[in-house]
Structure 1
Amino acid sequence: MTKALSVFITGTDTEIGKTLVSAALLRGFAHLGLHAAAMKPIVAGAVEVDGVWHNEDADVLDAAANAPLPPELRTPYLLKAPAAPHIVAEREQVTLDIEHIVACHQQALERADVVVVEGVGGFRVPLDGERDTADLARALQLPVVLVVGMRLGCINHALLTADAIKARGLKLVGWVANRVDPSMQFADENIATIRAWLQRDHHAPLLGVVPRLDPPSPEAAANHLDTDALLAALRAHAA
């Protein structure tokens, strides 16, 4: 049996389209004939519907996956308040256990051909007083895709995040430019700059440019991503 593949999706900030890109990759993998599962290990922000707590991003991933996971594997830690996870976890008396997430991920790998793991916030969001989401990515030992929200300041954020990924001993296998600000000036020039620097310093190719979509749709976004190239990179990384 071929070993399942997995990838960690991080971003330059919060609210820059990680979930849209993650869902689009899930749809892309499904179109390639793979059983694709999604994990959103930690979420902060939930609403109760008919006695069941839901998070909007986790529900979007569920809808995009063709190998759905039970909630306790997809989202081991569902926090109620929409704020920094370490703050909410302390208030809700929850310990964000990285080892538990790793164990859930191992179970997810047994249920799919590829598992897309979406982080929370940016790459270095604290989980407690000592560990952050970079530690989670390192514990999972996954290659990383960086989603860059195209807006003022994105070049600095992209390069700093890429360096942080490398500093943790992880491989940046590609990045996605997401046009979150349709009025951004010199967007194409910004993309070209990030593309050149990430290719030169990290050998990380641009996997696609997602335009501003109204409404946002994983299927539509998938048409702008080179899922074949990412799949090849994941297979090479796993070899």
Structure 2
Amino acid sequence: MSVFFVTGTDTDAGKTLVTSTLLATASAQGLTTLGLKPIASGSRVTPEGLRNSDALALQVQSMPPVSYATVNPWAFEPAIAPHLAASEAGQVLKVSNMVATLGTTLAQTPRDLTLIEGAGGWRVPLNDREDICDLPHAMHLPVILVVGLKLGCLNHARLSAEAIAADGLTLAGWVGSVVDPAFAIESTRLADNLEILKRTLPGPCLGVIPYLEAPSPEAAKPYLSLPPLPTLETL
């Protein structure tokens, strides 16, 4: 059983596309998969309860299938920072509760590859004392960093990688995701940025997804490769 935490350089960096695509790639190789989105803001009200589009995308790529509650145990309606959304809902997010819930899920639903997608970037607050990065730290998880390729990505990516290392975690790999179509047009400048990232980020590049008019795992799959799959021994 291999488990990774997926974070991004920012909101809308392409975390869900990358996570879904890696899961789809693993499934195509005959591996069992599980995508988890523990916290999701920006959910819509449905007869079945709150549903988040990112979490639903991960549920689709979880094979064998699992319930929505397994994928996304904490869902909030407003599309705002998780700690603010939780506060408006009268809840307090705690890392200890998340570790317990995810630990049970991993024990009851072992898969060849499990990807746990974070919310926003590395330092998004969960409460007054804890950040989202405290979750992978508590679970001793290797990290996959999704770099939203746009103006400013070099600073965002390098600072994120430095923060991951400072927290004592391993950057198992990073993925470039072109999120700005104007940035994609400047092919020479894009190549220059990628060269700097490959030279300065400590983990291997798992691929670069070009700007896609209709992003989907099937469209993105040719551009990504799986990281080496270590075995999770302890939580």
Q: State the TM-score, normalized to the length of structure 2.
A: 0.92
Please state whether the residue corresponding to 2:119 is helix, strand or coil. Answer: coil
Deviations 1:30-78 (A, max 9, x none): 1121110011000111111224221011011111221333333311211
Q: Could you say which residue in structure 1 is the equivalent of 2:86?
A: 89
Please state whether the residue corresponding to 1:235 is helix, strand or coil. Answer: coil
Equivalent residues of 1:108, 1:115 under 8 A apart: no
Q: Could you say which residue in structure 2 is the equivalent of 1:191?
A: 194
Question: How far apart, in 2, do the equivalents of 1:172 and 1:190 lie?
Answer: 19
Please state whether the residue corresponding to 1:7 is helix, strand or coil. Answer: strand
Residue 71 to residue 48, structure 1, CA distance change in 2 (3 Å): same
Runs of at least 4 residues off by over 6 Å: 236-239
Equivalent residues of 1:43, 1:85 under 8 A apart: yes
Residue 46 to residue 237, structure 1, CA distance change in 2 (3 Å): closer
Residue 238 to residue 187, structure 1, CA distance change in 2 (3 Å): farther
Farther-moved stretch of structure 1 (95-104 vs 29-38): 95-104
Q: Which amino acid aligns with 2:198?
A: R
Residue 20 to residue 147, structure 1, CA distance change in 2 (3 Å): same
Equivalent residues of 1:38, 1:68 under 8 A apart: no
Segments of 5+ residues of structure 1 without an aligned counterpart are none
2:210 aligned with 1:211, yes or no? Answer: yes
Equivalent residues of 1:42, 1:120 under 8 A apart: yes
Q: After TM superposition, give the deviation of residue 7 of structure 1 in Å.
A: 0.4
Question: How far apart, in 1, do the equivalents of 2:205 and 2:233 lie?
Answer: 20
Equivalent residues of 1:24, 1:218 under 8 A apart: yes
Equivalent residues of 1:37, 1:108 under 8 A apart: no
Q: Aligned residues: percent identity?
A: 39
Residue correspondences, number: 228
Deviations 1:2-55 (A, max 9, x none): xx1100000000011100000001101111211100110001111112242210
Match of residue 107, structure 1, among 104, 107, 115: 104
Farther-moved stretch of structure 1 (76-85 vs 96-105): 96-105
Q: Could you say which residue in structure 2 is the equivalent of 1:75?
A: 72
Q: Could you say which residue in structure 2 is the equivalent of 1:160?
A: 159
Please state whether the residue corresponding to 2:55 is helix, strand or coil. Answer: helix
* Map 1:1-239 → 2, pairs under 5 A: 4-110=1-107, 111=109, 112-184=111-183, 185=186, 186-198=189-201, 202=202, 204-227=203-226, 230=227, 232=228, 234-235=229-230
Q: Which amino acid aligns with 1:193?
A: I
Q: After TM superposition, give the deviation of residue 237 of structure 1 in Å.
A: 8.0
**What's the C-alpha RMSD, in Å, of the aligned pairs?**
1.6
Please state whether the residue corresponding to 2:101 is helix, strand or coil. Answer: helix
Question: How far apart, in 2, do the equivalents of 1:117 and 1:236 lie?
Answer: 15
Q: Which amino acid aligns with 2:230?
A: R
Q: State the TM-score, normalized to the length of structure 1.
A: 0.91
